[in-house]
Structure 1
Amino acid sequence: MSRRLRFISLTPDQQPIVNDAYQHGEKRALRRRAHAILLSHKGHTINQIRDILGVKRDTVSTWLSQWEKDGIEGLQDKPREGRPSLLNESELAVLQQLVEEHPHQLPVLHAKFQDKTGKVVSQDTLRRALKKTATVVSGYAAH
């Protein structure tokens, strides 16, 4: 089966944008995608780019399509939803109150939280919740 050769042709305005993303992109994924675009612009085939970057052919093809559709924005990571929080707003408020009453006492905090809310969670879950809500209490921050 013969595949059509496909290359990206960058305009003079696009080249510095892609070069900047490749050299200074905040995330590794963006730098790799920009690298693929630059390689395509220089005449490398999808299979050559696949071999250079060590990714699947479909991945390279997707990156090229994303570039063609949305430009540099198409190469950025898309926001993703994570797992829903185990604690709701009222439980977080209870946790905040308990932290003020029992600072630096995670086992006590853990037991009292479970007594007040009836919710069984691990100490690690409480520690993560405290960190996420920007409550910095010595001894609770995950190391």
Structure 2
Amino acid sequence: MPAPLRIVLTESEDRTLSELRVAKTVAQRTRDRAQMLRLNAQGWVVPAIAEIFECQEQTVRETIRRWQQQGLGGLWDASGRGAKAKWQEADMAYLEQCLEQEARTYNSQQLAQKLEQERQVNLSADRIRRILKKRALVGSGLDTRNGADKILSTKHSSKPT
């Protein structure tokens, strides 16, 4: 049976981990990792820590090893996690430009088709609608008359200027 993983914390490291454990701006997973390390330094064994945090023993071991190799920086998740964006800022700028310059209105389905045909970016109509709504296009809005979801250009708005 291998020797149990054990870390020794300096007073300043323990204080840092203690502050990190209660920091509200830090992700919960990172705060849990800080507490795992403090418990290990206090003499708790890996299986007991895993039971407290309701996780696998391997998770606790990885946390301890990351601390040993990377220090405080090893507590945070590595970058690059999650799905990558399928669109770029330039794609939305292109759509905005089309809405402003072309002499027609587009609904979100038409914008999705235009984006796929001209820029090879495949987004759903709903996703495009949400992105543009979030960007809060100046002068544009959703036309909800008769249930229509049309994104109107400022040039062709029915509002008098």
1:51 alignment counterpart: 51
Runs of 4+ in 1 over 6 A off after TM superposition: none
Spell out, residue by residue over 1:19-75, the C-alpha distance to the aligned partner (whole angstroms, 9 max, x if none).
111111510010110010011011000011011111111110000000111111100
The share of aligned pairs that are identical, in percent, is: 22
TM normalised by structure 1 equals 0.75
- Structure number, greater radius of gyration: 2
Q: Structure 1, unaligned stretches of length 5 or more?
A: none
Spell out, residue by residue over 1:85-138, the C-alpha distance to the aligned partner (whole angstroms, 9 max, x if none).
433565333212245469xx8x6244155247626631222135436xx62246
* Matched pairs, number: 134
Q: Structure 2, unaligned stretches of length 5 or more?
A: 143-148, 150-161
Q: Give the CA RMSD over aligned residues.
A: 3.0
1:75 alignment counterpart: 75
**CA, structure 1 residues 127+12, in 2 after alignment: closer, same or farther (shift >3 Å)?**
same
Q: What is the alpha-carbon distance in structure 2 between the residues aligned to residue 112 and residue 33 of structure 1?
A: 45
More divergent stretch after superposition (91-100 vs 10-19): 91-100
Amino acid at match of 1:10: L
TM normalised by structure 2 equals 0.68
Amino acid at match of 1:42: Q
